[in-house]
Amino acid sequence: MTQLLPFPAPQGIRIGEFKDKPTSTEGDQKEAALQFWARSDGAVSTGIWECTPGRFTTSRDTTTETCVILMGRVTLHSGNGQKHSFGPGDMFTLPIGWSGAWEVHETVRKVYFISQGDVG
């Protein structure tokens, strides 16, 4: 029988040491993450991530990521010029092929679900 995987409330959990954000382009950004679970082959994972204000670039070349913002505010700037702003309670998916920049206005904490390949 497969067991349920309970996790503590993500808003108050300590997620580890903050380190420099390698793809930061503005600000002295730091990030930390705590992976809650990963499939044995690494194709699927979930956890929480936090990042301080600034701007960084990213691309979803081989993965799809779904996020739920727990705290903070961000604006995502897509490579095609679109902008979307998110705050606490908002959920969005970055599909394979998405690229752009995250502009973190206030320290952001999110729950993430990452999968290799398309989910749909």
Show the tokens assigned to 3: 């067991």
Could you tell me the end-to-end alpha-carbon distance of the chain, in angstroms, rounded to an integer? 27
| Residue 113 covered by a domain | no
Domain assignment of residue 118, yes or no: no
**Type of residue found at 41:** D
3-state helix, strand, coil in the chain (%, to 5): 0, 60, 40
Label residue 117 by pLDDT band (50, 70, 90): confident
pLDDT in tens, 35-85: 988 999 989 999 999 999 999 999 999 999 999 999 999 999 998 999 999
| Total structural domains within the chain | 1
Helix (H, G, I), strand (E, B) or coil at 1: coil
Residue 9 is assigned to a structural domain of this protein: no
**84-99 per-position pLDDT tens digit:** 999 999 999 999 999 9
34: domain range? 19-108
Give the global pTM: 0.87
- Name the β-bridge partners of 67: 92, 112
